[in-house]
Amino acid sequence: MHPRLLRAARALVAAGTCVLFAACNSDDTTAPKKPAAGTFTVDATTKFAYVSLADSAVVSPTPRAGESTAWDIALFSTNVTLNGGQAGPGGVVGYCICQNSSQNPSNAQWLAMTPESEKADFDAVTSVPAGASFVSDVLTPAIRGWLTGSGAAAVASPDSVYFVRLSDSSGVAKLHVTQLQGATATSAGRVTLEYAVAQNGQTAFGATQTATLDLTTGAKSFDFQTGQTTTSATAWDLRLEGFTALVNGGVSGTEKGAATKVTGTTFAAATPASTSPNAFRIDAYAGVFGTSRFYKYNLANDNRITPTFDVYLIKRGAKVYKLQITNYYNATGQARFITFRYAQIAG
């Protein structure tokens, strides 16, 4: 055969081989993508860190988190949110295996747990347990339990006392609700508050004051500094909507407001030192991480966060990931640097 014809014939054979086996340089030879897995630390010190588990990356949701499907899980301080339910359009749901919490360990046993000692529990999870019930996230206000009953039968719970961090973080107000008048099916009616304010550094609260917010005409925002309701979008500390109390921080506001329930004392006896600053919480969306928290607080009377090392399952569509939070501090001991490990498992 003429050399030129021989070269052409060989080229045709080679082309046929490429079509048959899809193994030529011009074809995609990328290996199948491995299920997502990894261990990394997110900076949750000042705002939510949004993580895509499928991409093993921190992402920036646009235009805002509640409208973005780019993230699966978000972490800020001790708050963990999944992109589903009221929190976002991703359809992400969660379930806690809670292999440690279900055993009700002692404080000493909790403190003895380490990332190394608890890895076996993480590795043991390879599929979704039978009967696992996944839940979506809902709004979880920092102030809860300020009333009992529902609808027209709702009444105030004056023994429930709260500290509310002011929206500009300049101080704290102590608060309880003393009376509800004219509650309806959709509103707590006229809500009477009793409160007092202390600026940062003060060891005692100022004079006790009262205010009544009339919710029969709609939601009301209140400024503890001025003692007045306000229509400002930013300069408010407490907002009452129907039967919900909100603070000006987290998912409810743009400022630094937060709150915590005060235990072990009465409204009259509560002082600014009655609650640690670490106990304050923002309004957040939460589901399984709200009902089954990933941490224990102050086990050694040192105001530190101790992980439970419980294993959670995060489900998005057909994909399921196991996740275990293993640390709340970085190498220098700074808080809110959250380390977790995760891996995709069989659905």
Whole-model pTM: value is 0.78
What distance lies between CA 36 and its chain's CA centroid? 22
- Residue 37 — very low, low, confident or very high, per pLDDT cuts 50/70/90? confident
With a pLDDT cut of 70, the percent of the chain lying above it is: 90
User: Is 318's pLDDT higher than 90?
Assistant: yes
User: Is 34's pLDDT higher than 70?
Assistant: no
User: Is 4's pLDDT higher than 50?
Assistant: no
User: Is 121's pLDDT higher than 60?
Assistant: yes
> Are 262 and 161 within 8 A, CB to CB?
yes
User: For residue 152, what pLDDT is reported?
Assistant: 96
Nearest to 207 by CA among 176, 174, 240: 174
User: For residue 275, what pLDDT is reported?
Assistant: 86
User: Is 1's pLDDT higher than 60?
Assistant: no
User: For residue 13, what pLDDT is reported?
Assistant: 37
Give the DSSP H/E element, type plus range, for residue 9. helix 3-21
198-255 confidence digits (pLDDT tens): 999 999 999 999 999 999 999 999 999 999 999 999 999 999 999 999 999 999 999 9
247-258 confidence digits (pLDDT tens): 999 999 999 999
Q: How far apart are CA 24 and CA 17, in angstroms?
A: 8
86: left (phi over 0), alpha (psi -120 to 50) or beta: alpha
Q: How far apart are CA 164 and CA 158, in angstroms?
A: 16
162-200 confidence digits (pLDDT tens): 999 999 999 999 999 999 999 999 999 999 999 999 999
> Are 262 and 275 within 8 A, CB to CB?
yes
Q: How far apart are CA 294 and CA 328, in angstroms?
A: 10
With a pLDDT cut of 90, the percent of the chain lying above it is: 85
CB atoms within 10 A of CB 33: 7
Average pLDDT, the chain: 91
